[in-house]
Amino acid sequence: MEIYINLNPTALTIRGLIKIHKTNSPIRPVVNWQNAPAYILEKMLSKKLQAHIPLPYTFNITNSIQLINDLKFLMTKIYVSHHLISQIYTPTSLEMS
């Protein structure tokens, strides 16, 4: 039997990372949750829910070949939509009179 409660919980620790690439250098808080009382329970529940309710990773790329194929498909869709729209509307000039 696994233990789902942290037997030695401690208070959460928080660190601040300074965003030097932004103006006024804001601070990004980073919280360490691993010693929280319910961390192990949350991990177990997350695994159980993922087993019963699989969520697809639609925005993850496994390798560069998949990225290239996805971009080719996307560019094909953009070209087709542009081609259809250009046939529907008459061309107009952007020059000011």
* pLDDT per position as a tens digit, 17-46: 998 888 888 999 988 888 887 888 888 888
Q: What is the pLDDT of residue 85?
A: 61
CA angle 76, 77, 81 (to 5 degrees): 115
Q: How far apart are CA 40 and CA 65, in angstroms?
A: 37
Is residue 69 in a domain?
Answer: yes
Alpha helices per DSSP H over the chain: 39-52, 64-88
Is residue 5 in a domain?
Answer: no
Q: Which tops the pLDDT comparison, 3 or 19?
A: 19
Is residue 32 in a domain?
Answer: yes
Say yes or no to pLDDT of 94 above 60: no
Q: What is the pTM of this model?
A: 0.41
Type of residue at 58: T
Q: What is the pLDDT of residue 16?
A: 92
Q: What is the pLDDT of residues 75-84, one digit of tens each?
A: 665 555 555 5
Q: Which tops the pLDDT comparison, 78 or 54?
A: 54
Q: How many domains does the chain have?
A: 1
Structural domain range at position 76: 13-88
Average pLDDT for 55-82: 72
Q: Which tops the pLDDT comparison, 94 or 8?
A: 8
Type of residue at 93: S
